[in-house]
């Protein structure tokens, strides 16, 4: 065990205080660092921690130790590393111990408990380079399976029966399969060790209730409090857990039942659609991929993304998120080569679905989560009696709402972000037949959805599941193909009927404790200085979801307050802006929507809607950042959303102007200019060229430079 000398302690505190938005954060971080240095339970990390202190890594130390990693919309998720604000065996172990005590409190100290544990394909390799490369790092090589085994040892020691996939078997439990098994096996809870579509260096733990859903306020805060109070984790070794007979490996029969449940959404017999499917190195090939094949569709996998590899080597920017077209480049190329009708993709834990549809000219159109939600709703509500129910989150498109209402359906459209709130509506209907203004049973819910490519279509699963929407979309594509049309044609029909819709999301990544302070400061500044207009459009209504006189009533817990940190601006009947901090990632998210009338010229209407939505979002970003004395140049605004806010500011304000000046200077040597610009970009990270390329493309389309300068800079960015 180690202790800090007075001089080192003083220097460390001063270094962290200089960076902290709140000096109390530095004090909290220092106290946590001292605990980690003196606690025998984490003694193996002490040499690494001492080296970070010696190197003066104050930003990393502050962010790693100033708080306990919070529960967000998807549970506890964050970078792997040292400290309570990072994912590591200590963080997961105390979380499991707290969850165990939470279940004992809910069901009784002597009640028999059963849990399901799932895990994804992740392995920590420190791709971000957060730690000294020449130091022994006990975290390197840690996998999600390792953490799942640790959780099983804790649960089983307390007498819990544990159900999980056999480690090393090559079989995994996806997030929706975990939810299904909790209900099927009459379990009291569950855990998925996963960071979903986050960077490979991240991991997380999502805890589930006996409903197969994530906990909602205020009970989630009770669990957080119990986790925070954990002083000691009581665990066996993995070998002792196996020897106890309390760890059970899930067999193929239960997996078949899960697949059968998802396939109940199929209605017809058309299977003529040719489909390219990619699991993006995750487990979706064992869920949606298997279901599509079983249903009889012609399925082609993307070979370079098929392996179960938590480093996501075949995905651009290592960002395996079907929300990003960059993740689907190889799938699109394969689809073009085989003349496929549809591309479908799942994220690593197979709860989200994304894709592209083939146009009549053979090109492919990316489908946003909002467009997928509307297509699935149209298919599900077709030929259904009035009164069926559609459910969505507030940030999901109003096109979904219009589709549901036009079909005679009932609508819930104001939910907070997170499928756990959709699951709560389903539970209310299941137990009381009423949820807010809608009435019916849980089987009347035809679609629950959120714009981030998530769907709940089965009463037996209370979290996102990629299987049902994949099958609905594949069948719809087959039906439209048989009729001489396409999935793009189906979407255009919706636009003709309800208006051409553009939904723009601009995430602003702000990392660390400093970034978190900025995110929260923006929210409070907007509350205090609510814009009267955005992009020249008057704000006709403003909703602060923390307002206890509003639709959600009194705030019931701290977790409730955090989830309700949502500000919505209405600008007439067809335009909206919503801003909220992400619950799982270090970013604030801005959503803009514009709807314009659409006649026969769908393309022009969509172009105009997109122009209006982007202009609306850009002006709102400018206003929001100005409230905290930050300015993001337009070129930086148009860079990849994966790039942090400081890097985007530096690109738009310094690197790009310097690059243009160098390229236009008389006598400029192309090779020297290109090398110098790339060297400057390297300071933004390893993927900086690709992440800033959209910013250059946007800027170059709007500014005049010499042909030679344009040629040099096009070569820099591969434009």
The DSSP bridge partners found for residue 644 are 509
Q: pLDDT tens digits, residue range 15-49? A: 999 999 889 999 999 999 999 999 999 999 999 99
- Assigned token pair, 422: 């959709």
Q: Is the model's pLDDT at 615 over the cut of 70? A: yes
pLDDT of residue 586: 87
Interhelix angle 23-38/6-17, rounded to 10 degrees, is: 140
> pTM of the entire structure?
0.91
Eight-state DSSP code of residue 80: B
- Using pLDDT thresholds of 50, 70 and 90, give the confidence band for residue 231: confident
Phi, psi of 533 (to 5 degrees): -150, 155
pLDDT of residue 72: 57
**How far apart (Å, rounded) are the C-alpha atoms in residues 312 and 533?**
43
Query: Could you tell me how many residues make up the chain?
Result: 719
Average pLDDT value for residue range 701-714? 94
- Using pLDDT thresholds of 50, 70 and 90, give the confidence band for residue 176: very high
**83 CB neighbour count, 10 Å cutoff:** 27
**How far apart (Å, rounded) are the C-alpha atoms in residues 117 and 398?**
36
**How far apart (Å, rounded) are the C-alpha atoms in residues 454 and 461?**
13
Average pLDDT value for residue range 156-180? 97
- Assigned token pair, 600: 């026969």
> In terms of Cα–Cα distance, which of 559, 495, 561 is closest to 527?
561
> In terms of Cα–Cα distance, which of 549, 535, 550 is closest to 590?
535
- Using pLDDT thresholds of 50, 70 and 90, give the confidence band for residue 273: very high
Hunting for tokens 């060297």 — which residue is that?
679
> In terms of Cα–Cα distance, which of 422, 463, 561 is closest to 191?
463
Whole-number Cα distances in Å, 259 to 20, 185, 252, 286, 344: 49, 16, 11, 10, 17
pLDDT of residue 73: 52
- CATH numbers and ranges of domains, the chain: 1-66 (no CATH), 89-250 (3.40.120.10), 258-498 (3.40.120.10), 500-631 (3.30.310.50), 637-717 (no CATH)
The pLDDT > 70 percentage for the chain reads 99
Average pLDDT value for residue range 187-214? 95
Eight-state DSSP code of residue 348: T
Q: pLDDT tens digits, residue range 73-107? A: 556 889 999 999 999 999 999 999 999 999 999 99
The DSSP bridge partners found for residue 299 are 275
Strands 189-193 and 114-119, sheet pairing: parallel
When mean pLDDT is compared across 93-107, 198-212, 218-232, the lowest value belongs to 218-232
Whole-number Cα distances in Å, 453 to 449, 456, 475: 8, 11, 18
Q: Is the model's pLDDT at 402 over the cut of 90? A: yes
DSSP annotation string for 598-646? --S-HHHHHHHHHHHHHHHHHHHHHHHHHTTT----HHHHTS-TTSBHH
**How far apart (Å, rounded) are the C-alpha atoms in residues 689 and 681?**
7
The pLDDT > 90 percentage for the chain reads 91
The alpha carbon of 533 is separated from its chain's Cα centroid by a whole number of angstroms, namely 30
């Amino acid at each position: 065990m180690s202790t800090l000398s007075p001089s080192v302690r003083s220097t460390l505190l001063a270094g962290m205080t200089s960076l902290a938005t709140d000096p109390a954060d530095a004090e909290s971080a220092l106290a946590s660092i001292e605990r980690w240095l003196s606690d025998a339970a984490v003694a193996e990390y002490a040499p690494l921690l001492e080296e970070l202190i010696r190197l003066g890594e104050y930003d990393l130390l502050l962010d790693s130790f100033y708080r306990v990693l919070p529960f967000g919309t998807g549970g506890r998720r964050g970078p792997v590393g040292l400290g309570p604000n990072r994912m590591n065996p200590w963080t997961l172990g105390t979380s499991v111990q707290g969850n165990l005590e939470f279940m004992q409190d809910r069901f009784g100290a002597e009640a028999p408990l059963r849990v399901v544990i799932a895990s994804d394909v992740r392995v920590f390799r420190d791709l971000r380079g957060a730690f000294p490369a020449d130091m022994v790092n006990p975290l390197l090589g840690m996998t999600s399976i390792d953490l799942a085994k640790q959780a099983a040892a804790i649960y089983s020691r307390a007498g819990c029966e544990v159900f999980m996939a056999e480690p090393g078997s090559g079989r995994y439990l996806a997030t929706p399969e975990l939810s299904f098994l909790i209900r099927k096996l009459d379990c009291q809870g569950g855990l998925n060790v996963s960071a979903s579509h986050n960077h490979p260096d991240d991991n997380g733990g999502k805890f589930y209730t006996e409903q197969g859903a994530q906990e909602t306020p205020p009970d989630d805060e009770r669990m957080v409090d119990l986790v925070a109070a954990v002083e000691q984790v009581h665990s066996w070794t993995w070998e002792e857990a196996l020897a106890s007979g309390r760890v059970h490996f899930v067999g193929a029969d239960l997996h078949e039942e899960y697949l059968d449940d998802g396939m109940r959404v199929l209605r017809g017999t058309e299977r003529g659609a040719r489909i390219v499917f990619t699991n993006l190195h995750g487990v979706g090939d064992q869920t949606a991929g298997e279901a599509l094949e079983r249903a009889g569709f012609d399925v082609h996998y993307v070979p370079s993304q098929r392996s179960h590899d938590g480093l996501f080597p075949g995905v651009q920017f290592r960002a395996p998120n079907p929300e990003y077209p960059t993740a689907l480049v190889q799938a699109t190329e394969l689809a073009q080569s085989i003349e496929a009708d549809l591309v479908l993709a799942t994220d690593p834990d197979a709860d989200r679905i994304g894709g592209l549809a083939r146009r009549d000219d053979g090109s492919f159109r990316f489908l946003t989560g909002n467009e997928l939600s509307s297509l699935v709703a149209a298919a599900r509500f077709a030929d259904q009696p009035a009164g069926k129910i559609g459910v969505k989150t507030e940030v999901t498109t109003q096109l979904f709402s219009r589709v549901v209402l036009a079909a005679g359906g009932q609508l819930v459209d104001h939910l907070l972000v997170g499928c756990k709130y959709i699951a709560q509506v389903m539970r209310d209907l299941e137990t009381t037949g009423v949820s807010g203004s809608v009435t019916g049973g849980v089987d009347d819910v035809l679609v629950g959805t959120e714009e981030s490519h998530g769907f709940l279509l089965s009463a037996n699963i209370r979290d996102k599941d990629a299987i049902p929407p994949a099958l609905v979309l594949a069948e719809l594509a087959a039906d439209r193909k048989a009729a001489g049309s396409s999935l793009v044609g189906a979407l255009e029909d919706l636009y003709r009927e309800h208006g051409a819709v553009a939904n723009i999301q601009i995430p602003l990544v702000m990392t660390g404790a400093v970034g978190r302070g900025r995110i929260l400061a923006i929210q409070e500044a907007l509350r205090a200085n609510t814009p009267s207009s955005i992009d020249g459009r008057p704000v006709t209504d403003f909703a602060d979801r923390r307002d206890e006189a509003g639709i959600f009533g009194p705030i019931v817990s701290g977790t409730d307050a955090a989830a309700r940190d949502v500000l919505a601006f209405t600008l007439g009947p067809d335009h909206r802006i919503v801003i909220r901090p992400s619950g799982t990632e270090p970013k604030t998210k801005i959503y803009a929507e514009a709807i314009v009338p659409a006649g026969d010229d769908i393309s022009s209407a969509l172009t105009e809607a997109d122009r209006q939505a982007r202009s609306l979002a850009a002006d709102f970003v400018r206003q929001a950042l100005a409230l905290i004395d930050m300015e993001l140049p337009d070129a930086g605004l148009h860079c990849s959303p994966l790039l942090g806010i400081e890097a985007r500011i530096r690109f738009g304000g310094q690197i790009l102007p310097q690059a243009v000046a160098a390229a236009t200077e008389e006598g400029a040597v192309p090779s020297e200019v290109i090398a110098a610009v790339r060297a400057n970009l390297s300071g933004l990270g390893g993927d900086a060229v690709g992440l800033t390329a959209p910013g250059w493309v946007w800027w170059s389309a709007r500014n005049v430079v010499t042909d030679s300068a344009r040629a040099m800079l096009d070569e820099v960015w591969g434009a």
